[in-house]
Structure 1
Amino acid sequence: MKQALLILGFVLFTLPAFAAAPEKSGKSKAHGNRYQAGFTLESPEEEAEPPEDNGRGVEIPTLVVPVFEDGRLLNYVFVSVRLQVADGVDPWKVRGRTHYVRDAMIRAAHKQSLGADGNGRALDREKAAKVWMATANETLGGESITGIHFLTVDSRS
């Protein structure tokens, strides 16, 4: 008896999934959910290689940056950066606060688009560096960061 109830419960539970299965004829007029993903990892020739880390650089884990225009999302850009810590500031203290800096940088990127004018799918590096440096200094206090170097920029659409 218990087995029969268990089987009946299983059948009743899975029945809606089979009833909602799409038609197999291939003549459905509904649009599919097919997307094409393009990866455009920028080559090093597009910007000079970042300088060697002199022990005062702090790398920020990959930032996922939305690029939008007129409130409409166009793209995501995956960016890795290295912060150059100012002389007189302990890089280890900055490393200990990296998660706060990263969070503030992502929030800043969501408040205003960091997309390049004319090419809304690419990152405007100058604009991003200016916004993120101000954000990092505000988060860490004072003039703790003197520069931002882009390690990788990967645009996905």
Structure 2
Amino acid sequence: MDRRALIALAPLALIAAPARASAPKKPAAAATDGQYVDLAPVALPIIVRGLLVNYVFASVRIQLSAMANTSKLRTKEPYFRDALVRAAHRSPFFTLATDYTKIDEAKVKAVLLREAIAIGGAKEVKGVAVLSQSPKKRTGLPTLR
């Protein structure tokens, strides 16, 4: 580069340095989320009038208390997932009457919270969150009730 160009750009570099330093820093994602156990995606059946019409693949997170033993509870992930699958196949409890491509998140949270507390303990489990839903089929479904 030319010496004149370097001299001309030097004041601009000095002005830009404080602006970069004062930019707000984003908190780390792990610090804001707390402790949790993510379940492997689970296929939950959508049953209408006794017939299986669709599956919805759901990713679920069990939120733990601050004092929970995270490593111990992460080893119990298959038990949490099994409890969710068993509840979903017991009856068409998670089927939404208004949309056969989604599950009823409130019911999933309630059922899995009860099961997670039974598996992990009331002092360990804080809540449940449904992170994502992905239906197997989007078309060719029966008409809504």
Q: Does the pair score TM above 0.5?
A: yes
- In structure 2, what is the equivalent of residue 16 of structure 1? none
Amino acid at match of 2:135: S
Percent identity over paired residues = 28
- Residue 119 of structure 1 aligns to a residue whose secondary structure is coil
- Residue 83 of structure 1 aligns to a residue whose secondary structure is strand
- In structure 2, what is the equivalent of residue 146 of structure 1? 126
Cα 1:143–1:64, aligned 2, differ >3 Å: closer, same or farther?
farther
Amino acid at match of 2:66: D
1:71 & 1:86 partners in 2: Cα distance?
A: 39
Task: Tell whether 2:75 aligns with 1:131.
Answer: no
Q: Specify every segment of 5 or more residues in structure 2 that has no aligned partner in the other structure, as ranges.
A: 1-28, 138-145
Q: TM-score, normalised by structure 2?
A: 0.65
2:47 & 2:71 partners in 1: Cα distance?
A: 35
**Superposition pairs for residues 7-86 of structure 1, below 5 Å?**
52-53=29-30, 54-86=33-65
Q: TM-score, normalised by structure 1?
A: 0.61
Task: Tell whether 2:88 aligns with 1:117.
Answer: no
- In structure 2, what is the equivalent of residue 3 of structure 1? none
RMSD: 1.7
Q: Specify every segment of 5 or more residues in structure 1 that has no aligned partner in the other structure, as ranges.
A: 1-51
Higher helix share: 2
Q: Deviations over 1:40-66 (max 9, x none)?
A: xxxxxxxxxxxx543401110011101
